DNA sequence: CGTAATAGTTCATCCGTACAACTAATGCGG
DNA sequence: CCGCATTAGTTGTACGGATGAACTATTACG
């Protein structure tokens, strides 16, 4: 996970090459349809000669693949289509959450190459044991894909808590009962591994689909996490702890929260609060709630929607982003949440007369943080392809 | 896998030069003590030969000045100290606010070269008239400094409202009674002028002093504005409307706000709310309040502090920044505000056990937005010195 | 006054991109 | 079937910019 730093360094000749190599790689990877060398030249503004040498390097280092030349309708020598190379360089996403742990391997085309998800109950677990288990599982996966000739560029570990990515430390993960852990050594992997917050990586998984360049991602579960995505990149804040929306004030006269304050968002829109409001037990599966909709559960969900709208309004007022993506348990509740969320947003967001605020469900499938983590590794490869040449 | 990034453009040879020119300029401008060419080479990692040619260009284009060589204690040829050139290239800061309009010219050393501030009452004013007046005043100032051989690089206009800097439009400024204005043409200046929110430019003025790389700036007046500074740069949000903290929820059961919602921060910590709480009229000067402290006014100020703390806690939870700078009328109230703000922050910020949150008064003097605007213009010069060579 | 030390400049060299001319491979019209 | 137009990709020369080494300039110190 990259953290913006202005510390620019002296630019030499090879800096040019690195930058242009990245530029060419991005052009190939971002394009919806395969580009030829000539197309890349036109898209980047580089000379055809330059593009050729750069593309040749990317092909040689197995990041880009040449497809058979397609002899399409028009005159001239047929173009060689360039595409991200499948099953060559891959990224590993890892996650420990309350009720499962898992690993997922993605290749540069975005395809899932291998994965293993294991249900479990890690509510008050031992970090060394759990991370050791995940490490073993991940090693097996890495061995597997390496046997198939792929090389794993790195890994990202998603954790549900306050993560300091720079220090590589998990400050606290209330729902796991973990605090002050350095998880990477406990995995025992011989790969570069970085850690990140679960909601933040899940947000990045959304970038696989059609989504605005900037949005807020809110993931509802037992806790409520959020991530700020700006210009298709995570905004982390000074320490990587941005997006802690779960304890935003909804009503100072509200119920006491486990954090010590009163009327936090989680007391209205957290999983347990919604289930309780619908007359269900705190461990009831989400399906039980959905069967009560519309009907007995509706009031509880709508109350959550209004609370969520209030917290999101603060968020939008402070950060100014026009799209909110709802993930986690909210995804399935969108039909019953959306109107209330939008109504409160319209009422409380100062800029609402000038902007169309949008609330949409998350598009990434289950265990989105695994996908997001793997994608983030590959984004790192793409942003410095010269390291692989 | 489609990953998009900021559309960077092809890098050529002259890109190298531009980047290194900026690097050298920044080294000279940001150093607390004058550097020699050799020092710059050491600081940037560039070769001495390269630095020499780049510095020569900066000197030739009057951005950098050579001081007389100082024959200090140690052996060797004495170094030529390099400093930002005074009174050569200058930036113009402009502002229209409720009770004054003004213009201020800063040179590259940060010194005020010329300024003119005119009190007035622009509560429900006509944009064309007021901006025409400001434009005339600014022209006179520009003529003056041009006669002294300085060249004005550009201007920034600060406005108290929702500004879209990209579109160059002021959406609305409630306290001026303006809405949907394109201010730049109305100034009638033959300079590149950009517009920005007043609090955001005032925040940038803080960068002149010793301040962390990232902080929140909150300016209290009739309305409450805020700005997010990250890595010494403004964070604007998608449309430039970040930092609208004035209408964050403090208590949904609170008094009705002019924005239509209930219990907004401004109803607790806005100028009128504080004055009313202290038993003063809404137009009473700030001095009247200060004479009541400590004493009769204290309860009102402390209530404002708690409300401010609550809103700032949301802010810090969402954005993750460790320092809060209080400007506007809060600057003078800091002694009576600080403890309550910090207490609420400690209570509600999830990361507070792991961070030292700091609340400090603004250091920039009066009309900080004028200074910040002029500085912003000069920052633009600094980030692309090649345009001046 | 000679030597060491530091600042700044000059020059040959290297590297990467651009431009232009080239080769390669196709469609099309006669 | 052949020549021509067209587009893709490659080769070779030129140019701009950074570099390191050698050079000059200017001081302190013994």
- A264 and A339 within one domain: yes
* pLDDT band at residue B136 under the 50/70/90 scheme: very high
- A200 and A248 within one domain: no
Give the nearest chain A residue to B46 (CA atoms). Answer: A10
Residue A61, domain member (yes or no): yes
State yes or no: pLDDT of A50 exceeds 80. Answer: yes
Residue B350 and residue B316 in contact, taking contact as beta carbons nearer than 8 Å: no
Q: What count of other Cβ atoms lies within 10 Å of the Cβ of residue A149? A: 9
CA distances from B388 to A74, B61, B104, B378 (A): 48, 6, 22, 12
A-contacting residues in B 185-214 (Cβ below 8 Å): 214
Whole-number pLDDT of residue A70: 84
Residue A105 and residue A115 in contact, taking contact as beta carbons nearer than 8 Å: yes
B267-294 pLDDT, tens per residue?
999 999 999 999 998 888 889 999 987 8
- A226 and A192 within one domain: no
Residue B3, domain member (yes or no): no
- A355 and A224 within one domain: yes
- A178 and A155 within one domain: yes
A279-315 pLDDT, tens per residue?
998 888 889 999 987 878 899 999 999 999 999 999 9
Residue A7, domain member (yes or no): no
Residue A79, domain member (yes or no): yes
Q: What is the mean pLDDT of residues A174-201?
A: 96
Whole-number pLDDT of residue B1: 40
Whole-number pLDDT of residue A3: 32
Using the 3D structure, point to which of B63, B84, B105 is the last residue of a domain. B84
Determine if strand C comes within 7 Å of the CB of A68: no
Closest residue by Cα to residue A312 from A185, A224, A183, A200: A224
DSSP assignment of A47-112: -HHHHHHHHHHHHHTTSEEEPPPP--SSSSSPP--EEEPTTSEEEEEEEE-SSEEEEEEEETTS-E
Please confirm whether the linkage preceding B294 is cis (ω < 30° from 0): yes
Of A275-289, B98-112, B312-326, give the lowest mean pLDDT range: A275-289
Element (H, E) at A294: none
Please confirm whether the linkage preceding B321 is cis (ω < 30° from 0): no
- B357 and B216 within one domain: yes
Nucleotide nearest to B46 (CA to C1'): D18
Using an 8 Å CB-CB cutoff, list chain B residues near A317.
244-245, 247-248
Residue A358 and residue A326 in contact, taking contact as beta carbons nearer than 8 Å: no
Q: How many residues does chain B have?
A: 389
- B80 and B93 within one domain: no
State yes or no: pLDDT of A12 exceeds 80. Answer: yes
Dist CA A109 CA A150 (whole Å) = 13
Dist CA B73 CA B338 (whole Å) = 47
Whole-number pLDDT of residue B5: 40
Q: What is the mean pLDDT of residues A68-83?
A: 89
Total number of domains in chain A: 3
State yes or no: pLDDT of A1 exceeds 50. Answer: no
- A383 and A354 within one domain: no
Q: How many residues does chain A have?
A: 389
Dist CA A302 CA A328 (whole Å) = 17
Q: Running DSSP on this structure, what letter comes out for residue A376?
A: H
Sign of CA dihedral B169, B207, B248, A3: positive
Dist CA B368 CA B388 (whole Å) = 27
Helices (H), chain A: 13-30, 37-44, 48-60, 127-147, 183-187, 198-205, 266-269, 271-277, 286-291, 298-319, 330-348, 368-383
Q: Do B231 and A355 touch (CB under 8 A)?
A: no
A237, A258, A371: best mutation site toward chain B, by most B Cβ within 10 Å? A237
State how beta strands A178-181 and A193-197 pair: unpaired
Closest residue by Cα to residue B259 from B362, B162, B143: B162
State yes or no: pLDDT of B360 exceeds 60. Answer: yes
**A341 phi, psi to nearest 5 deg:** -60, -50
Of A332-341, B41-50, B202-211, B291-300, give the lowest mean pLDDT range: B291-300
Q: Which residues contact A333 (CB under 8 A, 6 or more apart)?
A: A220, A274, A289, A293, A301, A304, A326
* pLDDT band at residue B388 under the 50/70/90 scheme: confident
Residue A2, domain member (yes or no): no
Residue B382, domain member (yes or no): yes
Smallest Cα distance from A181 to chain B, Å:
14
User: What domain range is B99 assigned to?
Assistant: 89-205+368-388
Whole-number pLDDT of residue A23: 97
Q: At what angle do helices B13-30 and B368-383 cross, to 10 degrees?
A: 140
Strand D footprint nucleotides (protein C-beta < 7 Å): 5-12, 15-22, 25-29
With H, G, I as helix, E, B as strand and everything else as coil, classify residue B275.
helix
Please check whether residue A268 touches B, CB under 8 A: no
Question: In the predicted model, what is the mean pLDDT of chain A?
Answer: 94
Whole-number pLDDT of residue B4: 37
Residue A227 and residue A199 in contact, taking contact as beta carbons nearer than 8 Å: yes
Q: Give me the CA B72–C1' D26 separation in Å, rounded.
A: 12
Q: Look up the CATH number of the domain holding residue A51.
A: 1.10.10.10
**Using alpha carbons only, what angle is made at residue A236 by residues A231 and A238, rounded to the nearest 5 degrees?**
130
Nucleotide nearest to B44 (CA to C1'): D18
Give the nearest chain A residue to B315 (CA atoms). Answer: A318
B-contacting residues in A 320-349 (Cβ below 8 Å): 320-322, 347-348
Using an 8 Å CB-CB cutoff, list chain A residues near B22.
8
Task: Give me the residue from A8, A231, A320 closest to B23, CB to CB.
Answer: A8
B166 by Cβ neighbours in 10 Å (0-12 / 13-18 / 19+) ranks as: exposed
* pLDDT band at residue A72 under the 50/70/90 scheme: confident
Residue B81 and residue B66 in contact, taking contact as beta carbons nearer than 8 Å: yes
Give the up-direction half-sphere exposure of residue A1: CA atoms within 13 A in the CB hemisphere: 29
Task: Give me the residue from B231, B259, B355 closest to A4, CB to CB.
Answer: B231
Whole-number pLDDT of residue B8: 80
- B245 and B142 within one domain: no
Determine if strand C comes within 7 Å of the CB of B36: yes
Element (H, E) at B30: helix B13-30
Using the 3D structure, point to which of A23, A56, A84 is the last residue of a domain. A84
With H, G, I as helix, E, B as strand and everything else as coil, classify residue A20.
helix
- B222 and B338 within one domain: yes
Q: What is the mean pLDDT of residues A102-131?
A: 97
Whole-number pLDDT of residue B389: 80
Edge-to-edge strands, sheet with B112-119: B112-119, B100-107, B89-96, B151-159, B193-197
State yes or no: pLDDT of A154 exceeds 90. Answer: yes
Across the A:B interface, residue pairs with CB atoms under 8 Å apart total 208
* pLDDT band at residue A6 under the 50/70/90 scheme: very low
Residue A4, domain member (yes or no): no
Give the up-direction half-sphere exposure of residue A289: CA atoms within 13 A in the CB hemisphere: 25
B233-275 pLDDT, tens per residue?
999 988 899 999 999 999 999 999 888 889 999 999 999 999 9
Residue B172 and residue B178 in contact, taking contact as beta carbons nearer than 8 Å: yes
Question: In the predicted model, what is the mean pLDDT of chain B?
Answer: 94
Dist CA B263 CA A250 (whole Å) = 11
Smallest Cα distance from B130 to chain A, Å:
25
- A262 and A188 within one domain: no
Residue A1, domain member (yes or no): no
Task: Give me the residue from A4, A242, A378 closest to B318, CB to CB.
Answer: A242
Residue with CA nearest D24 C1'? B77
Of A90-104, A200-214, A366-380, B254-268, give the lowest mean pLDDT range: B254-268
Task: Give me the residue from B232, B237, B313 closest to A321, CB to CB.
Answer: B237
Smallest Cα distance from B23 to chain A, Å:
7
Whole-number CA gyration radius for chain B: 23
Q: Do A233 and B5 touch (CB under 8 A)?
A: yes
**A127 phi, psi to nearest 5 deg:** -55, -45
State how beta strands A82-84 and A233-235 pair: unpaired
Using the 3D structure, point to which of A84, A111, A131 is the last residue of a domain. A84
Dist CA A272 CA B22 (whole Å) = 54
- B353 and B230 within one domain: yes
State yes or no: pLDDT of B56 exceeds 60. Answer: yes
Smallest Cα distance from B72 to chain A, Å:
29
Of A112-116, A378-382, B289-293, give the lowest mean pLDDT range: B289-293
State yes or no: pLDDT of A53 exceeds 70. Answer: yes
State yes or no: pLDDT of A357 exceeds 60. Answer: yes
Of A178-182, A351-355, B32-36, B56-60, give the lowest mean pLDDT range: A351-355
Q: Look up the CATH number of the domain holding residue B269.
A: 3.30.420.40
Residue with CA nearest C20 C1'? A49
Q: Which residues sit close to strand D, CB under 7 Å?
A: A 10-13, 36-39, 48-49, 52-53, 56, 69, 74-80; B 13-14, 16-17, 20, 45-50, 53-54, 69, 71, 73-78
Q: Running DSSP on this structure, what letter comes out for residue A210?
A: S
């Amino acid at each position: 996970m990259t953290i913006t730093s202005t510390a620019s360094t002296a630019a030499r000749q090879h800096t040019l090459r690195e930058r242009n190599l990245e530029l060419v790689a991005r052009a190939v990877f971002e394009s919806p349809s395969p580009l030829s060398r000539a197309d890349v030249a036109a898209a980047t503004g580089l000379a055809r000669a330059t593009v050729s040498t750069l593309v040749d390097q990317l092909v040689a280092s197995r990041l880009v693949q040449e497809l058979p030349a397609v002899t399409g309708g028009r005159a001239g020598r047929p173009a060689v289509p360039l595409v991200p190379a499948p099953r060559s360089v891959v990224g590993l996403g890892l996650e420990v959450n309350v009720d499962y742990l898992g690993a997922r391997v993605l290749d540069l085309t975005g395809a899932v190459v291998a994965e293993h998800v294991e249900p479990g109950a890690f509510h008050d677990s031992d970090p060394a044991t759990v991370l050791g288990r995940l490490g073993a599982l991940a090693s097996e996966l890495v061995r597997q894909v390496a046997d198939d000739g792929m090389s794993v560029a790195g890994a990202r570990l998603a954790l549900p808590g306050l993560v300091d990515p720079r220090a590589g430390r998990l400050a606290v993960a209330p729902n796991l009962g973990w605090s002050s852990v350095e998880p990477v050594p406990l995995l025992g992997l011989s790969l570069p591994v970085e850690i990140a917050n679960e909601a933040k990586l899940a947000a990045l998984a959304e970038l696989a689909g059609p989504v605005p360049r900037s949005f807020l991602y809110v993931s509802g579960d037992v806790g409520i996490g959020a991530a700020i995505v700006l210009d298709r990149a995570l905004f982390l804040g000074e320490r990587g702890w941005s997006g802690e929306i779960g304890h935003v004030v909804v009503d100072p006269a509200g119920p006491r929260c486990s954090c010590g304050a009163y009327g936090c968002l989680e007391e209205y829109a957290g999983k347990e609060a919604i289930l309780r409001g619908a007359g269900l037990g705190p461990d009831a599966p989400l399906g039980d709630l959905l069967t009560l909709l519309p009907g007995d559960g509706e009031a509880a969900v709508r109350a959550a929607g209004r609370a969520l709208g209030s917290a999101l309004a603060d968020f939008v007022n402070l950060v100014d982003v026009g799209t909110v993506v709802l993930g986690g348990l909210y995804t399935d509740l969108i039909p019953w949440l959306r109107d209330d969320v939008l109504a409160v947003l319209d009422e409380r967001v100062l800029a609402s007369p000038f902007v169309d605020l949008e609330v949409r469900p998350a598009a990434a499938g289950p265990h989105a943080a695994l996908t997001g983590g793997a994608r983030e590794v590959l984004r790192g490869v793409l942003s410095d392809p010269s390291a692989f040449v």
